[in-house]
Chain A
Amino acid sequence: MINDFAFKIATVNGTGSASANGLLMSAIYRMGIPVSGKNVFPSNIQGLPTWYEIRVSKDGYTARPAHIDLVVALNPATYAKDVAAVRPGGWLLYDSSWPLDRALRRDDITILGVPFGTLCVEAFAGDRERTLMRNIAYTGALVALLDIDMDIVSEMIREQFAKKRALLDSNFRALHLGYDYTKKHYECPLPIRLERMNATRDKVLMDGNTAAALGCLYAGATVGAWYPITPATSLMEAFSGFCKRYRVDPETKQNNYCILQAEDELAAAGITIGAGWAGARSFTSTAGPGISLMGEFIGLAYYTEIPGVFFDIQRTGPSTGMPTRTQQADLLSIAYLSHGDTKHIALFPSSPGECFYMAVTAFDLSERFQTPVFVVSDLDIGMNDWMVPRLTWDDGYRPDRGKVLDAEALEKVQRFSRYLDVDGDGIAARSLPGVHAKGAYFVRGSGHDKHAAYTEDAAEYQEVVDRLARKLKTAEEALPAPEIHQRKGMPSSVGLVALGGTHAAMLEACDALARDGIDVDYMRIKAFPFGGAVRQFLDSHETLFVVEQNRDAQLRSLLAIETGLPRDRMTALLDYGGLPLTADFVTAEVARHLEVRVA
């Protein structure tokens, strides 16, 4: 049980537990041990239950754990749920300042009581400080129980409060209150414990929204428009933070960027498109409700061929749904967003690291294909800290601006026709406003011919929309190809298909299935529209499982619509309660279906 267990901390939101939980995560990470954290929080500012799950895995598995070895129960309101969450044979650490209802006690787990509340009331003055210090006190208890490196924790507290002497003293006092009491009353450490490793040196702990924001910064985005919405808000906030640091002109102290907080998502989309039309790299970040509002504008950008990057940090729908829970349920609406015949390029990052690289790719694709590009992330990727390889950058990178005619080129053309396909790839050259009188044309969402002139003529209209279809077809093979995992040299007849943030759980599930003697191939789709490689994988597997986080098997529908493969050739494995996927769900479901089939 060394370096291979999971624990969960149950608290009340708004009480300062988030920073204590972050401290625990980082301390373990600094001990060189692979770790991941999932914040299961309420859509509320203060007073509701919140949980933080930390998984330690020497093998580097980062998916949400299926079993919790230790629960730290600090919120009496959720005691019943929390006690029940401990796996048989596991541990419960609770605040014994208040008695634990006898009815809740379990014989199959070890119950450890530490009077955090009472200790803090005795040691500190004032409600606020007592509440805050209780978090550090339970951190101290966990340091003792799990054998977390005390030097590292102390070091981190010193870093954090270097400038706040009084707070520094209080924190140390609280840390030792919990630590000393636990040491004195219980045998420490527990069988689940930590031991230094060297597995995190080339890694960082980062959430996907931060990484995506960095991607926008590095891609050279200059205009960002947004309207606050969980879980997308932190993306633009991170971008704003990076811009303040890296995008202020050293001489004039003026900004090399413009971030506009719009009045709603319609305006955010309009600003993004207006800036894209004018020639800037522009983007917006939103979640499902915003995507719904943006529909009309997305159709305009598609039809008038204007670039822009749209981040959708998916949360649980429909409607307002569960804003602080995760899902993959915007797939269908994004693929064909807006009325009329439309289809959009979408990228599906599977981790914060990929959010960074895919953000850059999204800008390149968007300008190259002159169309909106969606980066479809989710709350789990966007807001949780993941352990990912350090981000790197190639200084040789230059933006792919696509076919843009400059003043010189425009001067030479006889007549500029905005929507004329010269190269046969479906992509017509564009001009930017203000560059040359010959480049002037009229952007219109109404019917237009290849010269951008108004039309109600069937043939002229069709010529343009048929080319758009061709353009999207060209895009297919330029998009990131799916990642295919196969057991060495042993292609299987069973294929698993998934996309996005479930990747960690999928990889773990493949390993677990293999251990049980079930070899499967696994394809992670990275982009829509799907290319030939996706079709080929589907065709070459007799048994197909599509694993996704929505009720209606949206990915399976997309695969059926786009590849023509009959829907019933693919079994959908659906997990959509709002929490990140566990490997256990996949292994159990696959095993169950395969047995049914064998029998």
Chain B
Amino acid sequence: MTSIQKPPVRHPSLQVNALGLTRRDYEGAMSTLCAGCGHDSVTAAIVQAFYELDVPPHRAAKMSGIGCSSKTTAYFMRQSHGFNSVHGRMPSVASGANAANRDLVYIGISGDGDSLSIGLGQLCHAIRRNVDMLYVLENNGVYGLTKGQFSASADVGSKSKRGEANVQRPIDPVLLALSLGATFVARGFSGDKTRLVPMLKAGLRHKGFALIDVISPCVSFNDHEGSTKSYRFTRENYHDVAPVDFVPLQREITAETEAGASVSVTMHDGSIVRFREVPSDYDPTDRDAAYAHVRARQERGEIVTGLLYIDEQSADMHETANTVARPLVDLPYESLCPGRAALDELMDEYR
């Protein structure tokens, strides 16, 4: 579908970003998802985030696995390279690509089936490696593409379309990521774009692995009465405990944006994540506190959203591996081959 091109004619009134690109330049092929699918709203928020961050589209790499959610990498940024890999294995492909070229902006899109069942191991290990990427988990509690089976994120008691209740305990990606040592953990809702966009921007600027679990209802298989991943249920039960503003490095921090800020965290590149409000007993830079808070509210049946935990200090994959700053793909061959004389010398050691 990438072959469908939008007309290049530009409306004079369209706003442009610092690169002179319009929002449209960040769009992709026409979506083939069901009308009303939560994933399409996430796509729109991603377009907005990249546009606002002035990322040159061709410098971004869109990685995904398999599922309706994973398909969406085709629906934003047609001028970016995309890699729709195999089911549940996107994290390793992204790790390899990042190992080779650390200068690209990596965004991975996955689903709850892709991430929490077949790909659970890969997700955990990408977190552990702290690969520098934004990982968006479009969470609808079901396998959309295979027509509505319960996924590992389905809540106990949540009903399927046929009325059966799920009985197995869910895997919560936020608690999982927190316990694995993830350095950026957030939860959003596809129906709340205003709060999702700054979260995506912060996630893209975070150095290391940023996980955003986005509740993204599946209108075809999991949006009915009795489902805990429906639009209605989510709207009624989500509590934005840690909404953020993202203040990029370039923009001046004005008094207005400072007003009411309870906590702010300076990011690696100098940008600032400013928490608009957080409960007085909650510190999003304290892993244990974040875990306890999410857990306690979950027990009360509340879905907490926001930038729940952030750590800007930890080393990412390349820092840990002590790789050169220059992308490996840019190193000239001459600097990689020790040459004939060195081999000759080396041979004397094998006698």
Residue B96 is within 8 A (CB to CB) of chain A in the complex: yes
Q: How far is the CA of A259 from the CA of B342 in the complex (A)?
A: 22
Q: How far is the CA of A357 from the CA of B2 in the complex (A)?
A: 41
Residue A100 is within 8 A (CB to CB) of chain B in the complex: no
Q: Choose from A205, A268, A280, A390 the contact partner of B100 (Cβ within 8 Å).
A: A280
For B, the interface residue count at a CB cutoff of 8 angstroms equals 63
Interface window among A172-180, A247-255, A578-586: A247-255
Q: Which residues of the partner chain A approach B2 to less than 8 Å between Cβ atoms?
A: 441-442, 451-454
Interface window among B36-44, B179-187, B191-199, B321-329: B321-329
Q: Which residues of the partner chain B approach A51 to less than 8 Å between Cβ atoms?
A: none
Q: Which B residues between 291 and 349 are near A, CB-CB below 8 angstroms?
A: 317-318, 321-325, 328-329, 331, 333, 335-340, 342-344, 346-347
Contact yes or no, A439 B58, CB < 8 A: yes
Residue B264 is within 8 A (CB to CB) of chain A in the complex: no
Q: Which A residues between 424 and 444 are near B, CB-CB below 8 angstroms?
A: 431-437, 439-444
Q: How far is the CA of A29 from the CA of B350 in the complex (A)?
A: 11
Contact yes or no, A434 B81, CB < 8 A: yes
Q: How far is the CA of A105 from the CA of B136 in the complex (A)?
A: 73
Q: How far is the CA of A557 from the CA of B217 in the complex (A)?
A: 52
Q: Which residues of the partner chain B approach A255 to less than 8 Å between Cβ atoms?
A: 321-324
* Nearest opposing residue in chain B for A410, CB measure: B58
Interface window among B87-95, B154-162, B164-172, B248-256: B87-95
Q: What's the nearest-Cβ distance from chain B to residue A57, in Å?
A: 18
Q: Which residues of the partner chain A approach B59 to less than 8 Å between Cβ atoms?
A: 434
- Known contacts: A266-B92, A443-B83. The answer to whether A222 contacts B331 by CB under 8 A is yes
Q: How far is the CA of A433 from the CA of B56 in the complex (A)?
A: 12
Q: What's the nearest-Cβ distance from chain A to residue B95, in Å?
A: 5
Q: A-B contact count, CB below 8 Å?
A: 226
The digit string for B190-234, where 1 denotes a CB below 8 A from any CB of A, is: 000000000000000000000000000000000000000000000
Q: Choose from B86, B104, B121, B347 the contact partner of A434 (Cβ within 8 Å).
A: B104
- Known contacts: A256-B324, A280-B329, A434-B58. The answer to whether A223 contacts B100 by CB under 8 A is yes
Q: Which B residues between 96 and 127 are near A, CB-CB below 8 angstroms?
A: 96-101, 103-104, 121-122, 124-125
Interface window among A13-21, A112-120, A129-137, A392-400: A392-400
Q: How far is the CA of A434 from the CA of B327 in the complex (A)?
A: 11
Residue A267 is within 8 A (CB to CB) of chain B in the complex: yes
Residue A300 is within 8 A (CB to CB) of chain B in the complex: yes
Contact yes or no, A275 B97, CB < 8 A: yes
Q: Which residues of the partner chain A approach B351 to less than 8 Å between Cβ atoms?
A: 26, 29-30, 200, 204-205
- Known contacts: A435-B58, A453-B2. The answer to whether A445 contacts B99 by CB under 8 A is no
Residue B129 is within 8 A (CB to CB) of chain A in the complex: yes
Q: What's the nearest-Cβ distance from chain B to residue A431, in Å?
A: 8
- Known contacts: A218-B338, A278-B329, A433-B101. The answer to whether A223 contacts B96 by CB under 8 A is yes
- Known contacts: A223-B99, A278-B101, A395-B339. The answer to whether A262 contacts B93 by CB under 8 A is no
Residue A263 is within 8 A (CB to CB) of chain B in the complex: yes
For A, the interface residue count at a CB cutoff of 8 angstroms equals 76
Contact yes or no, A391 B347, CB < 8 A: yes
Q: How far is the CA of A417 from the CA of B321 in the complex (A)?
A: 36
The residue in B80, B84, B93 that gathers the most chain A C-beta atoms within 10 A of its C-beta is: B93
Contact yes or no, B82 A443, CB < 8 A: yes
- Known contacts: A256-B324, A277-B97, A440-B78. The answer to whether A433 contacts B104 by CB under 8 A is yes
Q: Choose from A254, A271, A436, A440 the contact partner of B93 (Cβ within 8 Å).
A: A271
- Known contacts: A255-B322, A256-B336, A278-B101. The answer to whether A437 contacts B79 by CB under 8 A is yes
Q: How far is the CA of A29 from the CA of B325 in the complex (A)?
A: 45
- Known contacts: A271-B95, A395-B339. The answer to whether A445 contacts B82 by CB under 8 A is no
Q: What's the nearest-Cβ distance from chain A to residue B58, in Å?
A: 4
Q: Which residues of the partner chain B approach A402 to less than 8 Å between Cβ atoms?
A: none
- Known contacts: A258-B99, A432-B329. The answer to whether A267 contacts B338 by CB under 8 A is no
Q: Choose from A206, A217, A256, A274 the contact partner of B96 (Cβ within 8 Å).
A: A274
* Nearest opposing residue in chain B for A270, CB measure: B92
Residue A42 is within 8 A (CB to CB) of chain B in the complex: no
Residue A297 is within 8 A (CB to CB) of chain B in the complex: yes
Q: Choose from B1, B97, B328, B331 the contact partner of A274 (Cβ within 8 Å).
A: B97
- Known contacts: A271-B99, A280-B328. The answer to whether A258 contacts B318 by CB under 8 A is yes
- Known contacts: A223-B328, A434-B61, A443-B82. The answer to whether A274 contacts B122 by CB under 8 A is no
Residue A273 is within 8 A (CB to CB) of chain B in the complex: yes
Q: How far is the CA of A246 from the CA of B345 in the complex (A)?
A: 13
Contact yes or no, A445 B84, CB < 8 A: yes
Q: What's the nearest-Cβ distance from chain A to residue B129, in Å?
A: 7
Residue B273 is within 8 A (CB to CB) of chain A in the complex: no
* Nearest opposing residue in chain A for B84, CB measure: A444
Q: Which residues of the partner chain A approach B243 to less than 8 Å between Cβ atoms?
A: none
Contact yes or no, B323 A278, CB < 8 A: no
The residue in A225, A270, A451 that gathers the most chain B C-beta atoms within 10 A of its C-beta is: A270
Residue A351 is within 8 A (CB to CB) of chain B in the complex: no
Residue A322 is within 8 A (CB to CB) of chain B in the complex: no
Q: How far is the CA of A264 from the CA of B323 in the complex (A)?
A: 22
Q: Which residues of the partner chain B approach A272 to less than 8 Å between Cβ atoms?
A: 96
Contact yes or no, A258 B328, CB < 8 A: yes
* Nearest opposing residue in chain A for B58, CB measure: A437
Q: Which residues of the partner chain B approach A391 to less than 8 Å between Cβ atoms?
A: 343, 347
Residue A237 is within 8 A (CB to CB) of chain B in the complex: no
Q: Which residues of the partner chain A approach B285 to less than 8 Å between Cβ atoms?
A: none
| The 8 residue pairs across chains A and B that have the minimum distance between CB atoms | A274-B96, A270-B92, A280-B100, A271-B96, A433-B81, A278-B100, A274-B93, A204-B350
B contacts, CB < 8 Å to A = 1-3, 56-59, 61, 63, 73-74, 78-86, 89, 91-101, 103-104, 121-122, 124-125, 129, 317-318, 321-325, 328-329, 331, 333, 335-340, 342-344, 346-347, 350-351
Contacts beyond the supplied A254-B322, A266-B89: 16 A-B pairs with Cβ under 8 Å:
A217-B337, A220-B337, A246-B338, A254-B323, A254-B324, A255-B321, A260-B96, A266-B92, A270-B93, A273-B93, A274-B92, A276-B100, A277-B83, A278-B97, A296-B89, A436-B58
